Homo-oligomer: A and B are copies of this chain.
Amino acid sequence: MDTAVDLHSPLTEDELRRLDAYWRAANYLTVGQIYLLDNPLLREPLRPEHVKPRLLGHWGTSPGLNLLYAHLNRIIVNRKLPTIFITGPGHGGPALVANTWLEGTYSELYHSVSRDETGMQRLFRQFSFPGGIPSHVAPEVPGSIHEGGELGYALSHAYGAAFDNPDLLVACVIGDGEAETGPLAGSWLSNVFLNPARDGAVLPILHLNGYKIANPTVLDRIPTDDLLDMMRGFGYQPYVVAGDDPATVHQTLAATLDRAVDEIAEIQRRARSGGPVERPRWPMIILRTPKGWTGPAVVDGKQVEGTYRAHQVPIAEVRDNPEHLAELERWLRSYRPEELFDPTGAPVAELAALPPTGDLRMSANPVTNGGRVLRDLELPDFRRYAVDVQQHGEPAVGATGVLGAWVRDIITANPHTFRLFGPDEVASNRLGAAFEVTDRAFVANRVDGDDHLSPDGRVMEVLSEHLCEGWLEGYLLTGRHGIFTSYEAFIHIVDSMVNQHAKWLKVTRGIPWREPIASLNYLLSSHVWRQDHNGFSHQDPGFIDHVVNKKAEVVRVYLPPDGNTLLSTMDHCLRSRHYINVVVAGKQPAPNWLTMDEAIQHCRRGLGIWDWASTDGGEEPDVVLACAGDVPTLETLAAADLLRQRLPELRVRVVNVVDLMRLQPPSEHPHGLPDNEFDTIFTRDKPVIFAYHGYPWLIHRLTYRRANHDNLHVRGYKEEGTTTTPFDMVMLNDLDRFHLVIDVIDRVPGLAARAAHLRQEMVDARQACRDHTREYGEDDPRVAEWRWIRETDAELRSGQ
């Protein structure tokens, strides 16, 4: 296959000259940001005090980014093709800032950084300067939907942005460092899920500049034929642009981009002319240019250009070393700034006319400020999907299954702006109703017997949490909606991606021109308590702890105890903006506690007393049984029932918590319950036995400033688990109903003596359940129903 485009020269002499000048301007502005405090146009000889005292920034990747940006501008202007730019090598922040300033967007959004000498001086000074802007492609950079700190997610973000954006081209630059990461390596085959008829196009541009911080890059050092094979293997048609002579590279890159964009247009034309959609061979580009190209070749006798030494600041100690200062000045002047900027400091007219204008600027494309194009979801009234709860606890149906029907109708009502993402677990997590109206998206080979698989599917399933997360983030950041459903334990796989997204949300709250985007919604099912069949490796509720470390203004955690509360919670989440919502819910048949009206009211409060399960008669209780999570709620209600039967004089209050953040004081979280309300519910001095879904310490952390904290006793997951039965799992972690009763007996003053017999019964019941489990391989049938206690009470009383 042909991998190098014919070396005809699409650029006229004049076009070449202007394109190169534009590139030089961007490079000049990049170096200026890294180095200069003042004298931005070099109107006078460079002096030490013109140079920043602390030199920060990444030069190495920047000339390549500037080159690509300039050439993509040419494509956009020639074709009126809406295009966005994903900067995988996001450390090259100054390059992107330079380009957005050149095309005017930067000054429009940050007025003081005007497109003149004063603005240029501010542009330079603010970069990596305290009170200024970060060194990476941060949210502050217009046109960015991809923070350039942690590496690995450029390509999955690009695909997420392209989904359902049929007219969009997403140019995605992938550094050869980033290409070594697992998440990036797993992203290439995203093209199996991209429908050329419905979705936009992604043009991956692998930038081989050869080195990382200290090492060569792997993809630069394997045989080129292998690299081409690899890209073909991923389903792309690779084109190589390589060189270190600017004029030659300009011509080759222009020709190659023309060809790639022509091919994309042809692919889309074919796919959109009716007929079955097949997986095309999308073009991709391998750009091999020197690291730190056009920078100083040699510094202090050591080769810099084209090596790892060009990674960050190629000339250090400029203030104190006159030779370095002279070298920097030579470097800056090599771009001939006097030809690039007019006397006011603005780009000369010829350059200013080069980039696209208005929304066609990559820095101003509306989808890169997703909130601008975001529309509310059409949400069917969730009340219509309610479980008909006739009495508390009935019927027993799985919560996520209840949700499934509603999600199905959301998909129908929002055919272009909502998708469901999951690692092959949508049906397993009981959202299979979605497949009544849509399929799993899949553009590669389909065969008879496949289950709901088509290029038009709106369920995105791939066995990669990284891809699901990256796609969804890209989808949200460009103004759409979605849900990520995953096994609870394995969502830790994307801990680090969630960190970065949370940081993005936090920072963009402070950037006035960034409009709020739809929240990132996690529906975690197959949770820790119902991984009894998969065992210990599948049991981990720690994702909640992880997200709670992020800024309170960004994070929400919900533990709806049944189907109706799950519906109400998800309705709230899908209407919300700019949050990370973590919802944990069960998929197995389980009791439903609240009617829809009760559920709505309960979710609105976030937590509340369940009078119908309490025996305190509305007065001060002897003990509070609190619970959060579906399985802990079941065990708590069974314990309350036991206590009602056996210690009817004990005043027990049952409190259920849906919105975990309500436990914190308002000073810590906007959802925090005021202290007086908290004290009213949890009392100031009575024992609270708290049955919690996850690691117990989190409840202590959330409540440690509450008056009654010292009386709080939390049961939860303590890393005890294996392949066993559901009830054995809760017993292994002392979260079972019997143990909760024991806790009550042990904690309520004066009860131990009075209830010694009951306590022993509870110990015996635990042993009996364990023995039954070990003998029969299944739970004692009496614990399958929460009401068994009532029914078998007589039996238990008799001492068996």
Contact = CB atoms under 8 A, between A and B. Distances in A.
Contacts of A464: 180-182
Contacts of A766: none
A239 to B, nearest CB: 16
A218 interface: yes
Interface in A475-527: 489-490, 492-493, 495-496, 499-500, 503, 506-507
B186 A130 contact: no
Interface of A: 37, 52-54, 56, 128-136, 138, 147-152, 177-178, 180-189, 192, 212-218, 221-223, 226-235, 279, 303, 307-308, 424-428, 440, 442, 444-447, 449-451, 453, 461-467, 489-490, 492-493, 495-496, 499-500, 503, 506-507, 533-538, 540, 542, 545-546, 549-551, 695, 697, 700-701, 704, 709, 719, 722-725, 728, 773-774, 776-778
Given A230-B229, A719-B551, A723-B133, A149 B53 contact: no
Given A221-B444, A226-B233, A496-B495, A186 B182 contact: yes
Given A226-B234, A461-B215, A534-B135, A466 B56 contact: no
A533 B128 contact: yes
28 contacts: A128-B723, A130-B777, A131-B774, A133-B723, A135-B533, A135-B534, A148-B537, A150-B538, A180-B462, A181-B182, A181-B186, A182-B467, A213-B424, A213-B428, A214-B451, A215-B440, A216-B447, A218-B444, A221-B444, A226-B234, A226-B235, A303-B449, A493-B495, A495-B546, A507-B536, A550-B719, A697-B701, A704-B704
A442 B212 CA distance: 14
A173 B188 CA distance: 22
A183 B182 CA distance: 4
A56 B138 CA distance: 48
B445 A221 contact: yes
Nearest to A494: B496
Contact of A134 (B223, B226, B535): B535
A776 B53 contact: yes
A-B residue pairs, 10 tightest by C-beta: A149-B537, A230-B233, A182-B186, A182-B182, A229-B233, A185-B186, A492-B496, A185-B185, A134-B535, A182-B183
Contacts of A546: 495, 542, 545-546
A775 to B, nearest CB: 9
A447 B725 CA distance: 59
Contacts of A230: 229-230, 232-234
Given A136-B534, A182-B182, 8 more contacts: A131-B774, A189-B222, A214-B440, A215-B424, A215-B453, A216-B453, A303-B449, A704-B709
A542 B135 CA distance: 23
A186 B189 contact: no
B182 A777 contact: no
Identical copies of this chain, number: 2
Nearest to A722: B134
A223 B709 CA distance: 61
A497 to B, nearest CB: 9
Contacts of A214: 424, 426-428, 440, 451, 461
B535 A138 contact: yes
Most chain B CB within a 10 A radius of its CB, from A56, A185, A213, A450: A185
Contacts of A506: 719
Given A215-B453, A453-B215, A490-B150, A130 B724 contact: yes
A218 B496 contact: no
Contacts of A181: 182, 186, 463-466
A17 to B, nearest CB: 33
A189 B216 contact: no
Max chain B Cβ within 10 angstroms of own Cβ: one of A535, A704, A728: A535
B235 A233 contact: no
The listed residue with most B CB atoms (<10 A of its CB), out of A133, A540, A723, is A723
Contact of A778 (B53, B232, B551): B53
Nearest to A531: B149
A725 B54 contact: yes
A545 B543 CA distance: 11
Contacts of A52: 777
A543 to B, nearest CB: 9
A452 B735 CA distance: 55
B135 A535 contact: yes
Contacts of A534: 135-136, 149
Contacts of A37: 777
A228 B233 CA distance: 7
Nearest to A177: B463
Contacts of A308: 451
Contacts of A453: 215-216
Contacts of A183: 182, 186
Contacts of A425: 213
A178 B463 contact: yes
Nearest to A466: B182
Query: Which interface residue of A151, A212, A463, A709 has the most chain B CB atoms within 10 A?
Result: A463
Nearest to A153: B182
A81 B463 CA distance: 34
Contact of A545 (B136, B538, B545): B545
A661 B496 CA distance: 25
Given A493-B150, A549-B545, A186 B180 contact: yes
A29 to B, nearest CB: 18
Nearest to A548: B697
Contacts of A442: 215-216, 221
Given A229-B233, A451-B214, A695-B549, A490 B495 contact: no
A540 B461 CA distance: 30
Given A215-B424, A462-B218, A700 B695 contact: no
A493 to B, nearest CB: 4
A136 B489 CA distance: 16
B221 A232 contact: no
Contacts of A56: 533, 723
Contacts of A303: 449
Given A152-B182, A695-B549, A189 B218 contact: yes
Contacts of A217: 463
